[in-house]
Chain A
Amino acid sequence: MIREWSGMRGIAAVPTYVVMQPTTLCNLDCSYCYLPFRAADKRMPVEVAAAVASSVGAFARAGRFSVVWHGGEPLAAGREHLGALLAPFGGSVEHHVQTNATLIDDAWCEFFAEHDVRVSVSVDGPEARNGERVTRGGKPAYDRIARGIEALRRHGIPFSALCVVGDPRPGVAAELYSYFLELGCEVLGINVEEREGVNTRDNRHAAADVTAFWAELVGAWRRDPRIHLREVEWSLRYAGAVLDGTADDLLPRRLDPIPTVAHDGSVVLLSPELAGFHDPRYGDFTSGNVLTTPLGEILATAADTPWIAEFLRGVQACREACPYFGFCGGAHAANRYFEHGRFDMTETDHCRNSKIRLLEGVLDHARDHQPTAV
């Protein structure tokens, strides 16, 4: 009988970070975006940030804690308002921002430095690969993205990058990695496009193509591993733990609840992509509102939210059915819902594209580059 992976049982009472939505607005209109209200400027009142800040002090005392300003486009809230939202948080938390970079200028760079905000930009590779990233008028946004990133470089602000890949296949990965080396990011995450939120595009790809994409990415990274490449790091960390016999220690013991606090204070747990959606069976996916209930209290009763109870049964089903569970930890909630309409089934296209074929690609590369005896 195969042993059962012991991690990812239940939901942790203390998160390691909280995702904040300072505004629903985004100044871009990327064709693959999952956000439903990105054309509207619904701003988070300072009272919401203050309510979250009053709870996260306890979380930060338990360990490192981060506040991620996500979107919409968080910089669309403006410096003055974002500064007011940051103010209630003490110095014990890290602030991060995930931005499309188009609004970054000297003043924003000074803001990042002053508030010690860690910056991550969204860009999909060379200009020709950013066709999905367009303005509200449908015009290419790449020039504005590049100008924003250049401002970061001019100010010596280190940055990470997130890249969405719509066509994972051989030939693409090496080009992308080369671009990001030149761009100068310290960290890179590759997100194969997903079907979720208002993006209903198919995300199925030929298995061999996706696996070869990841294998090629490993090869490109290996030739110049300056960038901390999220997918390669995690895969090698898992493989090393398997070889050391410590793989079962790798997954978190409990799922991080990852509270996402929407502009109005409502809290969606586990999958930010569910915020703003409604389902006749599951309601609006929220577990409470920080304006009426302390965040810690919302987290303590997380499993009472009906869709979360169903999701936890889904994680157990993954544990029992999938040999990749020790690597993956179970299909993400949003992918289950937006691909299958419920939370208690298992494998998704996201699992296949971004977990299973990733690990297979890394292993293919390792198999094909075994050291040769001399």
Chain B
Amino acid sequence: MPEITNRRPSDAVEVDPVTARVHDTKAGLAALIEEAEVARGKRAESTSEDGSAVCAWNHFENIPTFYNWNNRPR
């Protein structure tokens, strides 16, 4: 599927094209998401007390430089 080029959602549709494409890819995504969860567990990302460079998953936004998705420093 090519990059979505119709950027302005139409009033006539219920679901935006990005959300629709995610749902259309559900089977492939589900496997990927499951593998990512397993990998996260192996990286011991469930705790922020281990002194590692990786911080807790539930503090995702609060790992400066790396994780803050919006307006992160680079």
**Cβ-defined partner of B66 (8 Å) among A120, A251, A322, A365:** A120
What is the CB-to-nearest-CB distance from B5 to chain A, in angstroms, rounded to a whole number? 9
Contact residues of B between 55 and 72, Cβ < 8 Å to A: 59-72
In the bound complex, residues from chain B placing their C-beta under 8 Å from that of A236 are: 29, 32-33, 36
Q: State whether A370 touches B28 (Cβ < 8 A).
A: yes
Which chain A residue has the least Cβ–Cβ distance from B73?
A272
9-residue interface stretch from A137-145, A223-231, A299-307: A223-231
Contact residues of A between 172 and 201, Cβ < 8 Å to B: 185-187, 189, 191, 194
Q: State whether A2 touches B15 (Cβ < 8 A).
A: yes
A19 touches B (CB below 8 Å) = yes
A8 to B71, CA, bound (A): 12
9-residue interface stretch from A38-46, A78-86, A238-246, A289-297: A238-246
Which chain B residue has the least Cβ–Cβ distance from A119?
B53
Contact residues of A between 1 and 52, Cβ < 8 Å to B: 1-2, 8, 16-17, 19
Which chain A residue has the least Cβ–Cβ distance from B30?
A243
What is the CB-to-nearest-CB distance from B44 to chain A, in angstroms, rounded to a whole number? 10
Which chain A residue has the least Cβ–Cβ distance from B9?
A2
In the bound complex, residues from chain B placing their C-beta under 8 Å from that of A68 are: 64-65, 73
Contact residues of A between 216 and 234, Cβ < 8 Å to B: 218, 222, 225-226, 228, 230, 232-234
Q: A228-B54, A356-B3, A363-B21 are in contact. Are A189 and B39 (CB under 8 A)?
A: no
A8 to B69, CA, bound (A): 12
Q: State whether B7 touches A323 (Cβ < 8 A).
A: yes
In the bound complex, residues from chain A placing their C-beta under 8 Å from that of B21 are: 363
In the bound complex, residues from chain B placing their C-beta under 8 Å from that of A324 are: 18
Q: How many residues on chain B are close to A (CB under 8 Å)?
A: 55
Which chain A residue has the least Cβ–Cβ distance from B22?
A242
A160 touches B (CB below 8 Å) = yes
A89 to B4, CA, bound (A): 47
In the complex, per-residue mask of A333-374: 1 if CB is within 8 Å of any chain B CB, else 0: 110000000000001000000001101101111111111000
A257 to B64, CA, bound (A): 13
| Interface majority SS (helix, strand, loop, mixed), chain B | loop
User: Could you say which of A186, A328, A330 has the most chain B C-beta atoms within 10 Å of its C-beta?
Assistant: A186
A63 to B48, CA, bound (A): 13
Which chain A residue has the least Cβ–Cβ distance from B10?
A2
In the bound complex, residues from chain B placing their C-beta under 8 Å from that of A370 are: 25, 27-28, 31
Q: State whether A239 touches B22 (Cβ < 8 A).
A: yes
Which chain A residue has the least Cβ–Cβ distance from B13?
A2
A103 to B22, CA, bound (A): 45
Q: A2-B13, A324-B18 are in contact. Are A160 and B53 (CB under 8 A)?
A: yes
In the bound complex, residues from chain A placing their C-beta under 8 Å from that of B31 are: 366, 369-371
A118 touches B (CB below 8 Å) = yes
Q: State whether A256 touches B7 (Cβ < 8 A).
A: no
**Cβ-defined partner of B71 (8 Å) among A189, A228, A333:** A333
A204 touches B (CB below 8 Å) = no
Q: State whether A256 touches B68 (Cβ < 8 A).
A: yes
In the complex, per-residue mask of B23-45: 1 if CB is within 8 Å of any chain A CB, else 0: 11111111111011001101101
Q: A120-B66, A323-B7 are in contact. List 6 more A-B contacts (CB 8 A).
A: A19-B64, A226-B42, A328-B69, A367-B25, A370-B25, A371-B27
B residues neighboring A (CB under 8 Å): 1, 3-4, 7-9, 11, 13-19, 21-33, 35-36, 39-40, 42-43, 45, 48, 51-54, 59-74
A residues neighboring B (CB under 8 Å): 1-2, 8, 16-17, 19, 63-64, 66, 68, 70, 96, 98, 116, 118-120, 158-160, 162, 185-187, 189, 191, 194, 207, 211, 218, 222, 225-226, 228, 230, 232-234, 236-237, 239-240, 242-243, 247, 251-252, 255-256, 258, 260, 270-273, 321-324, 326-330, 332-334, 347, 356-357, 359-360, 362-371
